[in-house]
Amino acid sequence: MNFAWILFFISLVVVSNPRTGNGAAIDEVIQKIAQLPAAQRQAALEQGARREAQLVFYTSVSAADVPKITAAFEAVHPFLKANAYRAQPSTLITRLETETRTGRDLADLVGSAPAQMWHLKQRKLSRPYLSPERQAFPSGSYDHEGYWAGFEVTPIVLAFNSRMVPAAESPRNYEELLRPRWKGKLSLGNDEYEWFSVMLDSLGKKKGLEYMKGLAKQDLNMVGTSSRMRVELMLAGEFAVSLAARGRRVVEFKEQGAPIDYRLFDPYPSVPNFVSLMARAPHPHAAMLFFDWLLSQEGQSLLTQIPRLTIRKGLKQKGRLQDLYEKDFVFVDPASLGAHLKELMEEYDQIFGARPGK
């Protein structure tokens, strides 16, 4: 960690420690605003947020895009400073647990991956919050108890090299991938546990595992953990088809003229980035204000322009990214993934023999 980040966290400890700050307990705030009409609720949150003056958002959103999100929020709420700390999902969790043990509760909200949302709930680090904005989102993209809500999504597609595979001859469904013609021509990442989880949930455990075992007999090219690298190797002709490719990246390559195309299969897995309210948020009013804004028409519209792929119903995505919305997503369920992650990883490794480090 460089010197600038050290100073940043020292300053947060000084101003954000709930034992020395003026933030109300988050349960009290939620109870206070629960029965208020929409306009009064918003006014109460803004009034409390003015006193708190800031919020702290821990997230795994890309370092290039986080400042765009916080700047847009501050433009709407100029009385607030939105501080963001960006790291990989596992690093975020480690940091949060360390801060909790030492009594330094800095984060108000966390925006991260499905498994991390489940971990936060199980460790009682997060607090259920039912944002009124969730009503504009499809089922499966948020927790009905309020422990997480999806604000963006990564669609999972099947990509293929269009020079090696003419569109008319491309696979049309998952079953076709088991045909002899695809043996040795397919690629899968070493750690596609989220894709694996959706497939087993959708097909049923027994049928899903039977399918995966059949897929493993196709002499898959298991070439690391980077989806982008796999797509680039596919474009270079190392293999013809990439399973569990990230839709946004594939569309971007296609728009740049690369010889690539893709298919949306049933089930159509997607990995949301979720936002969760921390149980000991030092700035509860500001945290809920940001949470609601991130899910609002305004906040979601801003994400489409970055561009990030949003979940709120009725929004149009930028350019050809809209094509990724032709089918309904099957969202990764944090509860299903998180509660069975160890088992899923062991099954994945046993079937495909590709867990990193083994």
pLDDT of residue 4: 35
Q: What is the DSSP letter of 181?
A: G
Do 330 and 211 reside in the same domain of the chain? yes
140/312 Cα distance (integer angstroms): 12
Rounded Cα distance, 153 and 324, in Å:
11
Site of tokens 């936060």:
120
Check: CB of residue 265 under 8 Å from CB of residue 101.
no
Helices and strands in the chain: count of H runs, count of E runs: 14, 11
What is the rounded distance in angstroms from the CA atom of residue 284 to the CA atom of residue 338?
Answer: 26
- Backbone phi, then psi, for 170, in 5-degree steps? -70, 155
Alpha carbon distances (Å) from 229 to 131, 204, 329: 38, 30, 24
Q: Which two tokens stand for residue 280?
A: 């000991």
Same domain as 347, residue 242: yes
The ranges of the chain with pLDDT < 50 are 1-23, 356-358
- pLDDT given at position 354: 66
Tokens representing 252?
């971007």
The predicted-structure confidence for 308-345, as pLDDT tens digits, reads as follows 999 999 999 999 999 999 999 999 999 999 999 999 99
Classify residue 189: in a domain, yes or no. yes
Residues 206-253: tens digit of each pLDDT = 999 999 999 999 999 998 899 999 999 999 999 999 999 999 999 999
Q: Are residues 294 and 257 in the same domain?
A: no
* Residue 59 tokens, joined: 């997230």
Residues 313 and 242 in one domain: no
- The answer on 226 and 169 residing in a single domain is yes
- Are 74 and 81 in contact by the 8 Å Cβ rule? The answer is yes
**Could you give phi then psi for residue 84, rounded to 5 degrees?**
-125, 140
Residue pair 269/174 in contact (Cβ under 8 Å)? The answer is no
Phi (first) and psi of residue 39, to 5 degrees: -65, -45
d(CA 155, CA 271): 6
Residue 355's pLDDT is 56
pLDDT for res 24: 56
Assess whether 213 and 265 both reside in one domain.
yes
Same domain, 344 and 244: yes
- The domain that holds 81 is classified in CATH as 3.40.190.10
Do 146 and 294 lie in a common domain?
yes
DSSP state of 103: T
149-161 and 260-263 beta bridge pairing: antiparallel
Domain count for the chain? 2
Domain annotation covers residue 357: no
DSSP-derived secondary structure letter, 142: B
Q: What is the pLDDT of residue 261?
A: 98
Please state at what angle helix 66-76 crosses helix 297-305, rounded to 10 degrees.
140
Domain range enclosing 8:
3-152+271-317
| Phi, psi of 226, rounded to the nearest 5 degrees | -95, 115
Examine the domain organization and report whether 9 and 60 are in the same domain.
Answer: yes
Is residue 111 within 8 Å of residue 61, measured between CB atoms? yes
**Which residues have CB under 8 Å from 37's CB, separation 6+?**
none
Q: What is the pTM of this model?
A: 0.90
